[in-house]
């Protein structure tokens, strides 16, 4: 069970994964060694799953963000389909959903031409895929990693 101190540590790490234990200790009124032990416990318990670099997509030529809903055909196996979709490099996230569509994909590519190629040559070619619907993102107002939000801490 997480206490308020653990939640604050998680929030600080989400904001800056390179923050020092000493800086965290000042925020939560603990010693750096106590912070280290808490972080180790969060890692060992699977709460902290890793540390990530935040790469600017435009800087690496991946400026277009889109969401693609996928509807599968009769007899398609969800786990196998999810694995096929997850194996496509441009696919950042695969979410199995309930409703008209079976999956929602978050994809990132260079431009609309690359998006068309992704759809035509990779996604729609998969045997379980019956249809797709694509939404292109114009701008993003908020983009946070999954985890402890401010509302969970305050």
How do residues 16-59 score in pLDDT, each as one tens digit? 999 999 999 999 999 999 999 999 999 999 999 998 888 899 99
Residue 79 covered by a domain: yes
Predicted confidence at residue 146, as pLDDT, reads: 61
Which tops the pLDDT comparison, 123 or 143?
123
Q: CATH number, domain at 63? A: 3.30.70.920
How do residues 94-110 score in pLDDT, each as one tens digit? 999 999 999 999 999 99
Residue 72 covered by a domain: yes
Range of the domain at 66: 57-136
Residue 153 covered by a domain: no
What pLDDT band is residue 147 in, cutting at 50, 70 and 90? low
Q: Choose among 133, 130, 132: nearest CA to 76.
A: 130
Strands 64-72, 91-96: pairing is unpaired
Q: CATH number, domain at 31? A: 1.10.10.10
Residue 42 covered by a domain: yes
Predicted confidence at residue 149, as pLDDT, reads: 53
User: In terms of domains, do 131 and 74 share one?
Assistant: yes
């Amino acid at each position: 069970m997480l206490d308020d101190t653990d939640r604050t540590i998680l929030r600080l790490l989400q904001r800056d994964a390179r923050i020092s234990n000493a800086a965290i200790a000042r925020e939560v009124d603990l010693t750096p060694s106590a912070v280290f032990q808490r972080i180790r416990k969060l890692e060992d318990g699977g709460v902290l799953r890793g540390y990530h670099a935040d790469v600017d997509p435009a800087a690496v030529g991946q400026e277009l963000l889109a969401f693609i809903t996928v509807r599968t055909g009769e007899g398609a196996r969800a786990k196998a389909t999810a694995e096929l979709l997850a194996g496509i490099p441009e696919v950042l996230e695969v979410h199995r959903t309930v409703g008209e569509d079976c999956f929602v994909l978050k994809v990132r590519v260079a431009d609309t031409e690359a998006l068309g190629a992704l759809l035509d040559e990779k996604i729609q070619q998969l045997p379980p895929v019956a249809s797709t619907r694509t939404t292109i993102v114009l701008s993003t107002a908020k983009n946070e990693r999954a985890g402890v939000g401010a509302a969970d801490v305050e």
